């Protein structure tokens, strides 16, 4: 057709190799889908990233978190075992991790708040004793007393959250692996209960980034604890110029989420490679 047998043979060989490559790619994709190779690679990568090789700590909590569990195959059918996701958006990872850490660190945070509220109440009491007829000082004293009572109430709830997290950790220790679906469901239910209590307390805490930092300090020693500490310090430096405390708190969490997402993406690029 082209007037050259060599050219025609070359074109034929190119098309044959193209066809073979497409067939091989289709076979490879089919095998990867059947054995969930991408899901297993992602699973191993997250276990390494979160320093949880036995799948009894932070990685297990992340995989049983509702944000992650919801993107797993068969997640809506309790009669069937979930299939680990082959892809996880960095935003999903960051939000789930922040939710876990925020719920776990809130107990220690409220202890510090109570000490602060007691100091404020003592100062208001001293001023009121000096000028007992001043209605403004009486109002300040009443507000300080109410704030202390609220903090003490939240500390009691934080104790409940700590107990719930201890039960969730105990259930996590019973999980023998990612295919131990029965014990994973039990651990997930207990974790959900602990997160519900801790999440409500964390929402009232005035320093969410400080709350996250306390949770990171309680993590086991390793690269995850060091990496998260670096990301928190980086976030503080990036938001350090914001003067308004309320705005700063909002921007701190947004910036920390962005930094965690970048950390996750960098790690997943190595996993993909």
Identify the pLDDT of residue 259: 94
Task: Return the H-helix or E-strand segment holding 222.
Answer: none
**Which residue, among 40, 67, 66, 73, has the nearest Cα to 55 in the 3D structure?**
40
- Cβ–Cβ < 8 Å for 113, 205: yes
The answer to whether residue 258 scores a pLDDT higher than 90 is yes
The mean of the pLDDT values for the chain is 80
- Distance between alpha carbon 42 and the CA centroid of its chain, in Å? 16
The two tokens of residue 260 are 């965690």
The answer to whether residue 227 scores a pLDDT higher than 80 is yes
The answer to whether residue 17 scores a pLDDT higher than 60 is yes
Average pLDDT for residues 12-24, to the nearest whole number?
A: 84
pTM of the model: 0.71
The two tokens of residue 15 are 């098309």
pLDDT in tens, 58-90: 988 888 888 887 766 544 444 455 556 778 899
Tracing tokens 């044959």 back to the chain, one arrives at: 16
List phi, psi (to 5°) of 32: -60, -35
**Which residue, among 155, 122, 158, has the nearest Cα to 140 in the 3D structure?**
122
Residues 6+ apart with CB under 8 A from 197: 103, 157, 160, 161, 164
β-partners of residue 83 are: 73
The Cα 119–Cα 127 span in angstroms is 13
Identify the pLDDT of residue 6: 77
The answer to whether residue 38 scores a pLDDT higher than 80 is no
Please state, for a pLDDT cut of 90, what percent of the chain lies above it: 14
């Amino acid at each position: 057709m082209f007037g050259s047998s060599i050219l025609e043979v070359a074109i034929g060989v190119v098309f044959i190799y193209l066809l073979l490559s497409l067939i091989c790619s289709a076979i490879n994709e089919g095998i990867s889908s059947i054995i969930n190779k991408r899901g297993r690679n992602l699973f191993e990568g997250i276990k390494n990233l979160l320093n949880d090789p036995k799948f009894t700590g932070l990685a297990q909590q992340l995989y049983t978190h509702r944000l992650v569990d919801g993107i797993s195959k068969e997640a809506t059918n309790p009669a069937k075992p979930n299939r680990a996701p082959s892809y996880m958006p960095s935003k999903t990872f960051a939000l789930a991790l922040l939710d876990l850490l925020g719920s776990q660190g809130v107990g220690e945070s409220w202890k510090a708040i109570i000490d602060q509220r007691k100091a404020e109440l003592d100062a208001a009491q001293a001023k009121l004793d000096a000028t007992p007829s001043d209605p403004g000082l009486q109002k300040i004293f009443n507000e300080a007393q109410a704030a202390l009572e609220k903090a003490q109430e939240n500390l009691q709830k934080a104790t409940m959250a700590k107990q719930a997290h201890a039960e969730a950790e105990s259930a996590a220790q019973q999980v023998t692996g990612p295919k131990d679906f029965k014990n994973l469901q039990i651990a997930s239910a207990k974790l959900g209960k602990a997160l519900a209590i801790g999440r409500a307390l964390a929402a009232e805490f005035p320093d969410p980034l400080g709350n996250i930092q306390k949770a990171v300090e309680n993590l086991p020693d390793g690269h995850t604890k060091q990496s998260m500490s670096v990301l928190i310090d980086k976030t503080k430096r990036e938001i350090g110029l914001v003067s308004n405390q309320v705005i700063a708190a909002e921007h701190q969490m947004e910036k920390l989420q962005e930094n965690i997402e970048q950390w996750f993406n960098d790690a997943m690029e190595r996993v993909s490679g």
